[in-house]
Amino acid sequence: MSQEQQEKKERISRALSAMEPLGIKREIVIPVLKRLLHEFQNQWEHIEAESYRALADAIFEAQDSQVGCSADNKRPVMPREKRLKSCEDAVPSHNRRRGGPECQPPPQNRAPAKKRPLFEQGALSSKSREAYASNKPIPHNSTVMSRDNVAMTLPHTGERSVAQSSRVTSCQNNNLLSSADPMTELEHDQAGFGPLAMVHPSYFLDSSANVHPNSNGSSRRKAGGKEKEIIDPEGQGTSANLVLAATEDVNLSFICRDKFLCDPNFQMPTIEAVCQDVEERYLRSYKILDPTFSLQNILEVMCRSFSELGHLPQEKRRNSDINIIPAPGAQFLYEGMPACAGSLEDISRGEEMVPISIERVAESLEEHPLQFRYIARNIPYQNAYISINLARIDDESCCSDCHDDCLLNPFGCACASETAGVFVYTVDGVLRAEFLEACMAMLREPKKCDYIFCKEGCPLERVKNEEQPEKCKGHLMRKFIKECWAKCGCNRQCGNRVVQRGITCNLQVFKAGEQKGWGLRTMEDLPKGKFVCEYVGEILTNIELYDRHLSSRGNKRHTYPVLLDADWSTEGVLKDEEALCLDATYYGNVARFINHRCFDGNLIGIPVEIETPDHHYYHLAFFTTRDVSAMEELTWDYGIDFDDHEHPIKAFSCRCGSTFCRDKSRFTECRSRKLVLR
Ligand SMILES: C[S@@+](CC[C@H](N)C(=O)[O-])C[C@H]1O[C@@H](n2cnc3c(N)ncnc32)[C@H](O)[C@@H]1O
């Protein structure tokens, strides 16, 4: 990392630390900081002046605008003195400029923060925009939140609704709004609070009147003084629509689906009860003490905001600002997250050749495992450069003269040269025992000679400590599989094309226990050496991984990134932007659910060369290390060094249950427990 990057990183950290005591989370700070840097043309001095006054102001301003309250709304804003006071209190004295006026009004010559429309202020995160970008026309109902059997929708009725008399009466707490900003949450925590789908208008009811025809017979029930309407949209079972908030032309409502309604234990709560409950939770979680804080008001502001954003003239919109996923038949409220988790048959949404099911359990909202986007192939996030082109593949790296199935050729072919002329797969489609054993032995008994060391600085060590990176700890010399590919003469059914054909096993995501969270299991017996799945995720550069880690510190919901480090040590001076890894936190496949097991996991990850004739970018494929029975959990050794406390990704307390568990803290924990028991 260059000195300039290093300095930038430190300045970001200092800015984050300065905002922390104000209760402003890093996910709120980072986009505003980016914007300010752009506006001030990277002149940090303007941002750092007066104990980050400009930054604090810009954050508050952005939040004010996000609330969508103009001066006409008479929305009380946090008084300037109070902000200044909190800024003063928040910034540690050693951070304040000596002799400088702490938290004074900005100097006249300071570049004024430009007021920009909400869209331009980045209220909608880029990740969310990407995720939902679509040019399809906007249907009338927009589902904005979905949990299990409950969806929250914004039906754009165009008519005055029951709650039209409701007014925005007070200011909402800035912190609450920011932390509940759906887009911000989706970007940083993948918390699943975001616009999920667009649903055909006929799917919902106008809360004030119609009851849709229902094959089971429509009915209405009173629920806590509000009417609950039972409908059967397109014969898909019963649903209930409960209006939460409404403005002149927008309703915000909960749609409960049949699983809840058919449950005799489920009693529709009143809106008041829901609001009170949420307010209490927020009081506990975010220490919101503002007596005027009211969820009902926020929901109404959301309705206004929805309406205002929707009416922006075309020229002020950016394509991705309105995020729509058409949901024909409204089967999916969120790509990868169906309306009803119980009916979920395929979390891959058809991306894989076989459906991947999920165990039917009553999940709590926080636990829903599908808060990511399923992809079946690795995709570069942004800067990772992967050169895939036919011209790079020379004659030695492909078998253009082959026909049909290379495995039937007794003399092997060019693609087997990587493995001394012997194909790694048998005609039964599993790994040859010798090859598998050799790969497993390397992991079980890693000897010094099996490692190669970066000579000119190791990208991993630079991530751990940029200023004084330690010496490279070595990268395992991996055995590679090389599969035939597009330039080869064989056909797609060639026995030397296994990983690229994708998942063929019957797999299920299931609750692997309190301490491990979700896991993956096989629903069929698997023979030893069978390909199960690839580790698929976003391809990141070392820098991107570091930045991502920095901006999501404290977020427990991360999956383990896989370093594509097999070739690092042979590449001379490898720049950080050239070192690659795979991260399945936000985009990934079923492998993101595979839990870790020290040493004796029933899967092993083996590097596979497919489209690129070098080992800079490659695939990581999981094969069974033994016969695995149906319903057994699938596990692999993440290769974590539990003693490496400098590692950028904090290790978890291992619950793998292996006799060979490397996590010593667990042993200590067990021992001390035993001592207590005695
Ligand atoms: C790749 S994810 C695996 C899926 C994860 N269990 C879930 O619920 O999404 C890795 C995370 O799972 C948990 N995990 C995996 N293996 C574990 C183990 N042996 N013991 C405890 N937690 C584990 C840790 O929280 C880890 O950060």
In tens, the pLDDT along 82-128 reads 333 433 343 333 333 222 323 233 333 333 333 222 222 222 233 33
Whether the CB of 559 sits within 6 Å of ligand 1: yes
Whether the CB of 358 sits within 6 Å of ligand 1: no
* Selection from 47, 25, 26, 45 nearest residue 35 by Cα: 47
CA 340 to chain centre: 20
Contact call for residues 620 and 478 (beta carbons, < 8 A): no
Contact call for residues 451 and 475 (beta carbons, < 8 A): yes
Q: How far is the CA of 631 from the centre of ligand 1 (A)?
A: 18
Residues in the chain with pLDDT values less than 70: 1, 64-242, 248, 256-264, 286-291, 311, 313-344, 361-370, 446-449, 551-559, 571, 648, 665-678
Tokens of 166: 């409701």
CA distance 620 to 539: 12
Q: How far is the CA of 557 from the centre of ligand 1 (A)?
A: 9
CA distance 304 to 328: 27
Tokens of 85: 């006071």
Contact call for residues 449 and 442 (beta carbons, < 8 A): no
Contact call for residues 170 and 76 (beta carbons, < 8 A): yes
Q: How far is the CA of 369 from the centre of ligand 1 (A)?
A: 12
Q: How far is the CA of 264 from the centre of ligand 1 (A)?
A: 35
Q: How far is the CA of 118 from the centre of ligand 1 (A)?
A: 38
Whether the CB of 599 sits within 6 Å of ligand 1: no
Task: Return the pLDDT at 546.
Answer: 81
CA distance 365 to 350: 24
Q: What is the largest CA-CA distance in the chain?
A: 83
Q: β-strands 451-452, 475-476: how paired? A: antiparallel
Q: β-strands 562-563, 580-588: how paired? A: antiparallel
Tokens of 94: 């050693």
Q: How far is the CA of 596 from the centre of ligand 1 (A)?
A: 7
Mutate to test the pocket of ligand 1, among 520, 652, 662 (most ligand atoms within 8 A of CB): 652
Contact call for residues 244 and 238 (beta carbons, < 8 A): no
Cα angle for residues 184, 186, 189 (degrees, 5° grid)? 95
pTM: 0.54
Side-chain half-sphere of 47: how many Cα atoms within 13 Å? 26
Whether the CB of 106 sits within 6 Å of ligand 1: no
Residues 425-455 have pLDDT tens digits of 999 999 999 999 999 988 877 665 678 888 8
CA distance 442 to 451: 10
Whether the CB of 399 sits within 6 Å of ligand 1: no
CA distance 96 to 50: 7
Report the 3 state secondary structure along 624-677: ECCCECCCCEEEECCCCCCCCCCCCCCCCCCCCCCCCCCCHHHHHHHHHHHHHH
Q: β-strands 141-147, 197-199: how paired? A: antiparallel
Whether the CB of 593 sits within 6 Å of ligand 1: yes
Nearest ligand 1 atom to the CA of 656 is 19
Task: Return the pLDDT at 128.
Answer: 30
Tokens of 111: 């570049």
Q: In which residue are the tokens 């059967």 written? A: 232
Task: Return the pLDDT at 65.
Answer: 62
Whether the CB of 285 sits within 6 Å of ligand 1: no
Is the ipTM, as predicted for this complex, more than 0.90?
yes
Q: How far is the CA of 583 from the centre of ligand 1 (A)?
A: 14
Task: Return the pLDDT at 596.
Answer: 95
Residue nearest to atom 10 of ligand 1 (CA): 559
Contact call for residues 466 and 472 (beta carbons, < 8 A): no
Task: Return the pLDDT at 93.
Answer: 33
